[in-house]
Each structure stands twice: as structure tokens, then as C-alpha cells.
């Protein structure tokens, strides 16, 4: 059984957890700290904080877990990054008070920067050759500027705060799947299966399956056009051999742009089907 740690539900990882469920790791959300089991995958799921996830993965208490790219860059613990999700991203940014006169990063030279990510902040400003005083502030980071305890914050962008303005993006962070470095062969097998399932969900992201019917006389012109959209185009005939049936997978952004054109080529019906997984 694979022990999977996921963060408390938030907007950043919500779509990522949804991908996990779509990959067949279905479970019911429970209270913080509670352990639940997947209905159709050999997995035990625990909900915890990001810091707890990284610590438990490093020590082997948990096998795999979902964290942000910024958590990985901040941590000095040992683990493997095994997958990068293509779902929602978040910005790790520098924000200042609205009345702060900001004219580029040099404006922060000699200033106090409050942040829950001191390692990232130190590395960032060192790379820009700007001397600042980094203040480790794990909680209420934004209030440190409002209360005058710091000149700027470096943190994940929060819902709009009228008293702070975002001035620099330090990192655009994606959700990551991390794993313990010493998984047993059995657990590695479960992880490989999980990664295959997640990839099938991401391969289907933003795509739709179309089923188009047309008279047999229009088969050639439709086949020529549709094969340019999907080189694995399937062409069949109905039971009476009077109509052609085309089946293909396209980017959903193309759907409405091509609807009228397909009608002029002889398409009589277009059925749009959801695509949850695309294995290969």
C-alpha cells in the first residue's frame, strides 16, 4: 500500500487533488490529521500541512506527497521530485505597502524582507547582488509590513489585499509530487502505476472526443480535413453502410472554430464527448 500525503484543501492544490481522484485514487475528504483509504487504488491518504508533508516524506513516514515547487526549493531535506503537475500555479512574489515608492529591486536595498521562505529570499537577492535583511516570518507575514515591522514581504500571493501591492514575481510555482528516496520495490511499483494514471489524466487535459456523422459521399473531403487535426482519426460506417462515422480527439479550443467549416464539408451531426483519461 502506498502512503500518500496531501495538503489541507486550498485553491493552489485543489485541481491537483482532483487529478489524483480522476486517476482512480478516489477517497472522501476527512478532518485534518485523519487517515482515509482509497476505494480503488492501494493507497492510504493523510491530510497535513506542507511542512509536515515534506518532513514525513523525508523520514519515510509517508511515501509520496503533494507540495508546491516553492516548498521544495525552500527545503534542505532529502526526497525525490517525481512529477510536476500542469494544473494551477501560484506566484511567490514580493509585495510592499501601497505608499512605498518602488522603482525596481534596488529600492529594497538595505530593507527588511519578511518571509516564510528565507532560503529562497536569500538566494534571490544574492543573485541580484542586493543586500537586504531577511526576517523569517512563518505566520501573518503580510501584517509585518502593515504594522511597520518590515518594509516588504516575499510570500505566496494572497487574495487581493488593498493595503499591499505586488511588485516582483520571484517564482511561478507548480504543484509537485515528491517521494521518499528509499521506497521498497513493491511501493515503487505502486508509484509507477500512480504516475501512469496521473499522466493519462494530464494527457486528456483540455481535450475532447468528437464523433461526427456524414453521408458516405462526403467521406473523402471530411477525412482529409479531420486527419490533419488527429492523425489517429478513426473512420467507420453505420450498420446500413449509408453514413460515415468519424471519431477523433481535438483540443477543445478548436471545437467552435471548426464547427461551421465541418458543416460545409457535409457533417450532419457532431457529438462532443468528455475525455477523462488518455493512456497512450
What's the CATH code of the domain at 238?
A: 3.30.70.120
- Looking at the domain assignment, is residue 266 inside a domain? yes
Q: What is the dihedral of CA 176, 182, 186, 190, to 10 degrees?
A: 0
pLDDT of residue 76: 92
Same domain for 144 and 160, yes or no, is yes
Q: What is the dihedral of CA 235, 237, 238, 243, to 10 degrees?
A: 100
Same domain for 127 and 66, yes or no, is no
Same domain for 84 and 11, yes or no, is yes
Count: domains in the chain? 3
- Looking at the domain assignment, is residue 21 inside a domain? yes
Instruction: Answer yes or no: is pLDDT of 245 > 90.
Output: no
> Across-strand partners of 65?
5, 178
C-alpha cell at 169: 514575481
Residue whose C-alpha cell reads 510592499 in the numeric block = 96
Same domain for 72 and 6, yes or no, is yes
Find, among 37, 38, 49, 45, the residue nearest to 9 by Cα: 49
* Mean of all residue pLDDT scores within the chain: 86
pLDDT of residue 218: 83
- Looking at the domain assignment, is residue 179 inside a domain? yes
pLDDT of residue 182: 95
- Looking at the domain assignment, is residue 279 inside a domain? no
Mean pLDDT of 82-111: 89
Same domain for 117 and 251, yes or no, is no
pLDDT of residue 26: 78
pLDDT digits (tens, 9 = 90+) for 14-57: 778 878 878 888 777 666 657 788 878 898 988 888 999 999 99
User: Residue 152 — pLDDT band, cuts 50, 70, 90?
Assistant: very high
pLDDT of residue 33: 58
Same domain for 57 and 105, yes or no, is no
Same domain for 21 and 159, yes or no, is no
Same domain for 216 and 243, yes or no, is yes
- Looking at the domain assignment, is residue 280 inside a domain? no
Same domain for 216 and 261, yes or no, is yes
pLDDT of residue 220: 85
pLDDT of residue 239: 65
What's the CATH code of the domain at 71?
A: 3.40.190.10
Q: Which helix (H) or strand (E) holds 144?
A: helix 141-146
- Looking at the domain assignment, is residue 138 inside a domain? yes
Q: Which of the pair, 92 or 223, is modelled with greater confidence?
A: 92
Mean pLDDT of 199-206: 81
Domain end point (choices 152, 173, 194): 173
Same domain for 121 and 222, yes or no, is no
The pTM is what? Answer: 0.79
Same domain for 191 and 216, yes or no, is no
Same domain for 192 and 227, yes or no, is no
User: Residue 203 — pLDDT band, cuts 50, 70, 90?
Assistant: confident
| Contact (CB, 8 A) for 170 and 120 | yes
Residue whose C-alpha cell reads 487581493 in the numeric block = 160
C-alpha cell at 2: 502506498
Q: What is the extent of the structural domain holding 156?
A: 90-173
Instruction: Answer yes or no: is pLDDT of 111 > 70.
Output: yes
- Looking at the domain assignment, is residue 263 inside a domain? yes
Q: Which of the pair, 253 or 62, is modelled with greater confidence?
A: 62
Amino acid at each position: 500500500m502506498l502512503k500518500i500525503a496531501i495538503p489541507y484543501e486550498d485553491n493552489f492544490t485543489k485541481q491537483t487533488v482532483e487529478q489524483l481522484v480522476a486517476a482512480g485514487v478516489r477517497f472522501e475528504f476527512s478532518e485534518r490529521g485523519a487517515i482515509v483509504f482509497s476505494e480503488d487504488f492501494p493507497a492510504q491518504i493523510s491530510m497535513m500541512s506542507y511542512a509536515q508533508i515534506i518532513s514525513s516524506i523525508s523520514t519515510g513516514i509517508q511515501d509520496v506527497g503533494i507540495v508546491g515547487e516553492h516548498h521544495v526549493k525552500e527545503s534542505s531535506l532529502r526526497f525525490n521530485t517525481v512529477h510536476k503537475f500542469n494544473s494551477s500555479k501560484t506566484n511567490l512574489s514580493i509585495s510592499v505597502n501601497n505608499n512605498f515608492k518602488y522603482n525596481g529591486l534596488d529600492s529594497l536595498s538595505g530593507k527588511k524582507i519578511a518571509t516564510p521562505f528565507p532560503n529562497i529570499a536569500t538566494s534571490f537577492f544574492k543573485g541580484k547582488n542586493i543586500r537586504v535583511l531577511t526576517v523569517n516570518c512563518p505566520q501573518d507575514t503580510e501584517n509585518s509590513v502593515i504594522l511597520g515591522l518590515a518594509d516588504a514581504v516575499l510570500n505566496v500571493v494572497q487574495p487581493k489585499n488593498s493595503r499591499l501591492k505586488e511588485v516582483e514575481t520571484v517564482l511561478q510555482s507548480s504543484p509537485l509530487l515528491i517521494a521518499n528516496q528509499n521506497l521498497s520495490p513493491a511501493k515503487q511499483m505502486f508509484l509507477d502505476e500512480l504516475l501512469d494514471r496521473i499522466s493519462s489524466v494530464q494527457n486528456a487535459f483540455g481535450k475532447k472526443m468528437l464523433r461526427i456523422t456524414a453521408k458516405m459521399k462526403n467521406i473523402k473531403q471530411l477525412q482529409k480535413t479531420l486527419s490533419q487535426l488527429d492523425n489517429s482519426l478513426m473512420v467507420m460506417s453505420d450498420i446500413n453502410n449509408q453514413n460515415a462515422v468519424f471519431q477523433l480527439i481535438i483540443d477543445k479550443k478548436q471545437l467552435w472554430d471548426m464547427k461551421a467549416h465541418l458543416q460545409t464539408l457535409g457533417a450532419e451531426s457532431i457529438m462532443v464527448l468528455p475525455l477523462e483519461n488518455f493512456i497512450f
